[in-house]
A and B are shown apart, each in its own frame.
Chain A
Amino acid sequence: MFLGRVGLFIPCYIDQVYPRVGMATVRLLEKLGVSFEFPEDQTCCGQPQFNSGCFKDAAKLAGKMLRIFKDYDWVVCPSGSCTGMVREYYELLLERDKESDDFKHLVSHTFELCEFLIDILKVETIDGSFPHKVGLHQSCHGLRGLGLGVPSEQVLPGRIGKVRRLLESLRGIEIVNTGRSDECCGFGGTFSVFEGTVSSFIGRDRIKDYEQAGAEVIVSYDVSCLMHLDGLIRRDKKPLKVLHIAEVLDGAAS
C-alpha cells in the first residue's frame, strides 16, 4: 500500500521520559513495513497548556506542530490523548488557520498508532504471542475523544473496541474484564497535580479493579495514564506491571 510520507509524532513525555515506548513504536512500524520520518523539530502538542486553560501558550505549540507536520500525508502518534488534542481541540487554538487546507489535512490525517494500524493499514491481527493476563486501560481521550471503542455509558454497537480486538489476536493473551470497564484512571493531565489527592484516589480504585480482575499487566495506548498508575503501583509495592500497547505488540511480534 502506498502511503506517501508518514510523520512520526512522539509526544514530549515519551521523547524525554519513555523512549522505550517511542522505540517500540518505531520497531513495530518497521516490522509492518511502514517507512516514516521523525521530524526532529517537534517538541510538544501543547496539551499541558491547553488542559490548564492557557490557550494562547498552547496555540504557539499547536502552530509549531502544524508547521512541522503539514507536509506529511499521515501523522502517527503512540498516544490517544495527544492525537485527540490535535483532532478535537486544535480548532479552538488555531482559529485563524482553521479554514486552511493544511489545517484540515493535519486534523483529519493525524492518527493514534492502533487506529493507524487498524483503519489505515488494515491490520487485523498481529502474529505473535503474549501469554499474560492483561487489563486493557482504555484512556478516556482515546475511548471517547477518538472513538477507539464505545464507552460503557453509550448505547451503540461495537463495545469491544478496535484496540481490544487487535490485542486479542495475540496468542496466549487473556484480557480480563474489570467491573467498571472504562473508568477513568484519574490522571487528567495537570489535574494530577492540581488535585493530587483526588487523582491518586481514583487511580488506586482503578488499580484495585485490575487487581481484582486478575490482571498481571495493565496495557494502554496512553503512557500518561500509565505513568500515573505505575507511580501508584510502585509506591504501594504492588506486583502489577504497566506496558504501552506498542511495547506489547512489538515484543510479541519479535
Chain B
Amino acid sequence: MKSHARLAAAFLKQEKRAHWHDQALWYVREKRDRMAASVPDWEALRETAQAIKRHALANLPRYLEEFEQNAAARGAIVHYALDPAEHNRIVLEVLKSKNARLVAKSKSMLSEECGLNEFLERNGVEVVETDLAERIIQLAGERPSHIVLPSIHIRKEEVGEIFHEHLGTEKGESDPTRLTRAARTHLREKFLAAQAGISGVNFAVAETGAVVICTNEGNADLGNSLPDLYIAVMGVEKVIPKTKDLGVFLRLLSRSATGQPISAYTSHLLGPRPGQEMHIVIVDNGRSEILQRERFYKAAFCIRCGACLNTCPVYRRSGGHSYNYVIPGPIGTILAMHRDLKKYKDMPYASTLCGSCTAVCPVKIDIHRQIVLWRNEVVEAGHLGRAKSAALKTATLGMKRTRLFRLGGWTVRKLLRSLPPFVFNNRLTIWGRSRDLPKMPAQSFRAEYRAHSKSKTNLSESGLNREGRS
C-alpha cells in the first residue's frame, strides 16, 4: 500500500487538474460559508446539534429500542448487524427471500464501508448505483473520492468517455445536460426493472420510527417506492430522539455539505408503502467502541456532510484516493484509525493541523485535535518509522540541555553558512527539493541579545541613556 505522501505527490503531478480539484472544492466551501452566514446564530446551531448527538449517543440503547419499536409498529422489519459481514449477509438473505436479482441503490457511505456492492455482485445480484455521481464511479470501476461528491475528481470530458463506453453516448460528448439526460434514461430503465431498492439513511427518528433521507436527485425516492422490496441501511449513530431535532440537523446538513439551504428532496419514510416490504438494517461496526474512547468518542457524531473535506487544504490538494481508507480527508482519518492503526498510520500525518475542519464541522467534532492525538497513538504503537523517530529523539535530547541546544544550533549555522547553497537546496534533501533553506545568520538571538543588553547597561552606567523609560 502506498503512503498518502506518495499518492498525493502522484496526484499533484497533473498540476492543472490538481488546481481544478482544489478550486471546485473551494467553490463549495465558499457556498457553504454564504449559506452558514445566512442563518442567524449558526454557531449556536452547531452547539445544539452537538448537544443532541451527545445526548442521543449517550443513551443509544434506549433510543435504538424506541426507534425499533416505532419502526416495527409502522410495518418495517428491523435487523441489527454487528459488523460488515453480518450486514451483508442480512441484506443478501432479504434479497434472496424475494428473489431480487437487480437492486436500485442510492448513496450510502455505510454500504461502502461494508463493501456491500462487491459482496452482492459476487453473489449474483446486480447492483445499480442510481445517484448520478455514484453511477459514474461505478461504471468507471472506481471508489468514491468524496463522501458527498463521490466523482469530484472526474472531469466532464472523462464522464463523456465513460458514458460513451457504457451507455452508448456519442464519442466526444461532454455536455453535462446531454450526459445527464442519457444517464436518466438509462437509470429509469433500471428503476423500473429493479426488484429491490437499497438506500442509506441520514437520520432515524426514535420518537416516530421514521427514516429520513436527503438527496438532490430524488433517486432514493424512486428506489424506496417503486420496487416491492426496500432495504434501508444505517449506522447506529444515525438515531436522533425527536422529529423536532430535524429542525436543527436539516438546517445544518445541506448548508454544510453543498451550500444549499436544504436538499432538493427530504423524505420521511414512515413504514413501507402498501404492498411493499421494508427492512431496516442497523449496523454497529465499531461505532459503540468509538463512543467508549474518551479522547475520540466525538468522531461518532459525524453526519457525513463532507464539509471538513472541502475545507481541508490537504484534501483539496491530494484528492480522495490518496487516503487509503474508504472515507477520505479529516473525518476519514479519525475514523480509519479505529479500524486499523497500523494500516492507516500515515493518515494522521496528512494534515497541517490548520483546524479549519473543526471550525466547519456542523456537530463540532474536535477533528484536528483528534488527528494529533492519533499521531501519538501511532508513535506509542511504534509505527512512526525509525528514521523519523530517531531524528526527533536526537532533537529532544539536544533541546533538553540548553548547552547542547546552543552547540547544535551553532554547528548547523556554521555548516550551512560555509557550504555553497546547492549542497542543501537540491532534490536529495526533503526541504530543499522545492524550497530554499533560510539564510543562516552569523549569531543566535541569545548571543545578539547578550551583546545588546551589555551595551545598554554600559550606556546607562555611563549616564548616556537619559530616556528614562521604565
**Chain A interface residues toward B at CB < 8 A:** 10, 12, 14-23, 26, 30, 33, 35, 38, 40-44, 46, 48-55, 57-58, 60-61, 64, 89, 92, 140-141, 144-145, 151-156, 180, 183-184, 186-203, 205, 227-228, 230-232, 234-235
Contact = CB atoms under 8 A, between A and B. Distances in A.
A188 B438 contact: no
A193 to B, nearest CB: 5
A64 to B, nearest CB: 7
Contacts of B434: 196-197, 200, 232, 235
Given A197-B8, A235-B436, A26 B354 contact: no
Contact of A53 (B350, B384, B452): B384
Interface string B298-326: 00000000000001011001100000000
Contact of A195 (B314, B437, B445): B314
B9 A197 contact: yes
A196 B36 contact: no
Interface of B: 4-5, 8-9, 12, 18-19, 22, 26, 29, 32-33, 36-37, 39, 42-43, 311, 313-314, 317-318, 348-356, 358-360, 372-379, 384, 388-389, 392-393, 395-396, 398-402, 405, 409, 412-413, 425, 430-431, 433-438, 440-441, 443-449, 452, 469-470
Nearest to A53: B375
A212 to B, nearest CB: 13
Given A54-B392, A154-B43, 15 more contacts: A16-B444, A16-B445, A17-B438, A33-B470, A46-B396, A54-B393, A89-B372, A141-B355, A152-B33, A180-B26, A183-B313, A184-B354, A187-B352, A197-B12, A230-B438
Closest 5 CB pairs of A and B: A53-B375, A188-B352, A231-B435, A22-B445, A16-B409
A177 to B, nearest CB: 14
Nearest to A194: B349
A113 to B, nearest CB: 14
Given A180-B26, A195-B8, A198-B8, A19 B431 contact: no
Which of A18, A33, A54 lies at the interface centre, i.e. has the most chain B CB atoms within 10 A of its CB? Answer: A54
B350 A195 contact: yes
Contact of A154 (B317, B359, B436): B359
A23 B452 contact: yes
A196 B433 contact: yes
B9 A19 contact: no
A155 B36 contact: yes
Given A23-B445, A48-B395, A194 B388 contact: yes
A35 B456 CA distance: 13
A201 B392 contact: no
Nearest to A27: B452
Contact of B396 (A41, A51, A60): A60
Contacts of B377: 53
Contacts of B356: 140, 144, 151, 153, 184
A195 B438 CA distance: 19
Contacts of A190: 349, 388
